[in-house]
Amino acid sequence: MIHHFIVVSILTAWMSTTTFAANAVFDVRDFGAQADGTTLCTGPIQKAMDACAAAGGGTVVLAGGKFLSGTIYLRSRVTLRIEAGATLLGSTNIAHYPDNVPAVRSYTDQYVKQSLIAGENLENVGITGRGLIDGQGRSFKMKDRKRPYENRPYLIRLVNCRDVLVEGVRLQHSAMWMQHYLGCERLTMRGVRVWNFGNANNDGLDLDGCKDCTVSQCVFESDDDAITLKSTFERPCDSITISDCVARSHCNAIKMGTESNGGFKNITIANCVVTSPTHTNVFYGRGRGMSGISLELVDGGQLERIAISNISIHGVTVPLFLRLGDRARPFKDGMEPPPVGSFRDVVINNVVATGVGKIGCSITGLTNAPIHNVLVSNLMFEFEGGGTRKLAEKQVDELPKKYPESLMFGDLPAYGFYCRHVKGLRFSNIQLRTVAADQRHAMVFDDVENLSLDGLDAAFWPGGAAMLGLAQVRDALIRGCKPHAKDGAFLKLAGDKSRNITLLANDLSGAGKPADIAPDAPKDALATK
C-alpha cells in the first residue's frame, strides 16, 4: 500500500510537470521581438523557441502585429502559433537564410538549402493559429538558369520529423515551394490556406517520401503544382490520405511525381474540388491549369494501391493523366540510373469534369513496361472538342525519356481517353461529351490486354471516326454500350496481334455498322454476341 502511494505520487508529479511544460506559453515580445514589420526579429523568436524547448516544451506565440524574420529553427515538443491578426514576415535579404543541408539527402538538396521555417529530426512539433506566414517571395529573383532554385528559400521545410501538426494558418508568397516535408512521419495538416503566386516553382504542398500523413479541409491555390507527392530519395510516399480539399493550379492540381525514386504506395484522395486559379498571372503552366489529377512514375520506384474518388474538376486542360516513363534520373549525383519502375493497382471512381480542354486524357505505359490493373468507373467528362478526322489517325510518339506532363503528346487521337501499353484495364459507366464537334475516336486502346469496357455513353459527330479505336488489343469484353453513330462504325479494329475481342449485350442499332476491320487484323479477332 505504501509502495502504491509512492508510485502514484511520483506519477502524479511527473504528469503535472509534463502538463505544465506542454501548456507553457512563450510570447516572442517578451524576448525583444518588435511587431513593427521592419525590425529583424530572428534572434528574439529563436530565443523564445529555445527557451520553450529547454522548459520541456509548449507554445511560442506571435501576436499583435508583423514580425520580420530570417530562418527560424523549430524544436521538438514546441508549437509555433501565429495568432489571428499576426504575421510572420519573411526577410527579403537572402543573407538571413543560412544554408541548411539535411542529413537525409535527396535530389532537391543540391538546389534548395534555405527556408523561413526549418527543422530536422524533430518530434511533436506544430505550426498553428489563424494568422499569416508571408515569405515575400517576389523579392527573390532567379539568378542562374543553370541552377534556378538557388537563393530562393522555401517557406516551410521539415526533414525526418515525426508527429507534426500544421493547422489553421494562412501561407502566402513563398520564393519557391511553399511547404516541403521530406521523410516525415505522422504529419497532420488541417484547415490550412495556401496562396502561392509570383515566382517560379510556386507549389502549394510537397510531401516527399513521407509516411502515415493526412491532409484535410485545406485550400491550395498556386501557380505551380498545388498538392504534390514526391519521392526524391529512396523512401516512398506511403499511407497518405488527402480529403476534403480545394486545389487550384496553373499546372497540376493533384499530382504524384515528377520525382519518383522511392515510389508511391497506399494513397487515397477523396472528396476534393479542382479548378484553375482566377485573377492571377501565369508564371508557369497556363491560365487553364494543365491537369486535374496526374499520376507519374518516371524515375523508378513502385506506384501501387492508389484510390481516388469523388472529385469535381472544372476548367483544366486535361482532367486525368497517368504515365509510366523512363526518365531514370537518380536522386544523387554519381548514382546509376534507376530501372524502369512499376505502375499498378489504381482505382479512380466518381469523377465529374467540365470545361476541360481539347487534348484528351491518357493512360500510357511503355512497350517493355506496361501499366497494370487500372479501374476507372462513374465518370462524366465534357471536353472542349474541335478535333479533326485526320487527328484520329495520329501516331503518338512513345517519348519514354521526356519529362511527364499532360501536354506531352499534344492533341490525342481520342477526345476522351487514349490508352496504350496497359494490362488489366476496366472502364465502367463512362459518359463522354464535347462542346464543339469532334471527329476523333471517343476512346483509343493500343497494345492493351485484358480490357473491359462496360456502359460507355459517348458523343459522336457526323463524319467522325469510329467511336472506339482498337489496335493490338487482346482479351477484351465490350458490353452495355449504345452508340449514336448513324453514319459511322462503333469500333475500328487493327493489328495482327488483336484477338479474343467480344461485343456482348450492346445496342448497335444506332450505329451505321458494328465495326471496321483493318486488313492486318485476324478475321476471327472480333465476335459479337
pLDDT in tens, 239-292: 999 999 999 999 999 999 888 999 999 999 999 999 999 878 788 778 889 999
Q: What is the pTM assigned to this prediction?
A: 0.93
Q: What is the pLDDT of residue 17?
A: 37
Contact 346, 321 (CB under 8 A): no
For 24-67, where are the alpha helices, taking DSSP H only? Answer: 42-54
Which residues of the chain are under the pLDDT cut of 70?
Answer: 1-22, 103-112, 145-146
Contact 414, 441 (CB under 8 A): yes
pLDDT in tens, 326-370: 998 888 778 899 999 999 999 999 999 999 999 999 999 999 999
Cell numbers 514580425: residue: 67
Q: Which amino acid is at 368?
A: N
Q: What is the pLDDT of residue 335?
A: 87
Element (DSSP H or E) covering residue 11 = helix 2-23
Q: Report the top-level CATH class of 25-202.
A: mainly beta
First CA to last CA across the chain, in angstroms?
A: 83
Q: What is the pLDDT of residue 150?
A: 79
Helix, strand and coil in the chain, % to nearest 5: 10, 50, 40
Residue 218 phi/psi, 5-degree rounding, is: -110, 160
Q: What is the pLDDT of residue 103?
A: 67
273 CB burial (10 A radius; 0-12, 13-18, 19+): middle
Q: What SS3 state is found at 505? A: coil
d(CA 447, CA 328): 23
Q: What is the pLDDT of residue 6?
A: 41
How do the domains of the chain map onto residue ranges? Answer: 25-202
The residues, ordered by sequence, that sit 6+ positions from 516 with a Cβ below 8 Å of its Cβ are: 466, 489, 491, 492, 493
d(CA 261, CA 242): 21
